[in-house]
Structure formats: C-alpha cells, structure tokens
Amino acid sequence: DGGITQSPKYLFRKEGQNVTLSCEQNLNHDAMYWYRQDPGQGLRLIYYSQIVNDFQKGDIAEGYSVSREKKESFPLTVTSAQKNPTAFYLCASSPRVKNSPLHFGNGTRLTVT
C-alpha cells in the first residue's frame, strides 16, 4: 500500500534537546511538507520541499530545520531554539506543489518537558 509513514507516534523529550521526526513516503511524490497543529490554530506550515535537495521556509520555520536528501524522506528537526515545541506534527506529500491535494501521515505528538 502506498502512503506516508510518520514515526514515532508519540515522542517525549527534555527541554534543551534537539529531536528529529521521521517522515517517509512511497507515493513517488515530488513535494513534501511539515505542518504543526495546535488546538484552535489549524495547520501551520513549517517547511516544504518541491524537489530533492531543495526546501523553503513556511510560515513558522523558526526553531526548526529539515533536509531532503532522498525523494522518499523529509525529516524534521525540532531544535532547542523552538520556544514552544510541544505540538502535533503532520507530514504530507503531493505530486507537485501547484494544484495537487496533499496526502497526510498520521502525525507525531511531541511533548517537551
């Protein structure tokens, strides 16, 4: 079955530690995205990538970093510079950025204490 896999489902970290969230897709999509979801805030775009070795900042990129070394993979690192990292993180992919519905993974809930 084609799809997007995010792991782990739940992640706990101590404040001050960097943490990397995994996202893998086997849909052969060129574009991949990371969103952050907080209650009542909807989906806010962190970073997106249109093609391998290229990525752009979204609306709330500060405190986050990404890489796109392979088409299938788009890991997100939440750094210690992110002031409020506790949130639900969603990864998505689409064939291209323009006029393509996004396919979402099932999310990773990150809790930082």
Partner 1 sequence: GQQLNQSPQSMFIQEGEDVSMNCTSSSIFNTWLWYKQDPGEGPVLLIALYKAGELTSNGRLTAQFGITRKDSFLNISASIPSDVGIYFCAGQLLSGNTPLVFGKGTRLSVIA
The nearest distance, CB 80 to partner 1, in angstroms, is: 25
DSSP structural state of residue 83: S
In the block, residue with structure tokens 């992110």: 82
* Two tokens, residue 70: 């392979």
Nearer Cβ to partner 1, position 4 or 19? 4
Size of the site for partner 1 (CB under 8 A): 26
**Residues of this chain, 41-100, that bind partner 1 according to CB under 8 A:** 41-43, 45, 48, 50, 58-59, 90, 92, 97-99
Q: How far is the CB of 29 from partner 1 (least distance, A)?
A: 13
Per DSSP, what are the bridge partners of residue 7? 22
Q: Which helix (H) or strand (E) holds 1?
A: none
Sheet of 19-25: strands edge to edge? 4-7, 19-25, 76-78, 64-66
Chain position carrying tokens 């739940």: 10
Nearer to partner 1, 15 or 54 (CB): 54
Interface ranges with partner 1 (CB under 8 A): 4, 6, 33, 35, 40-43, 45, 48, 50, 58-59, 90, 92, 97-99, 101-107, 109
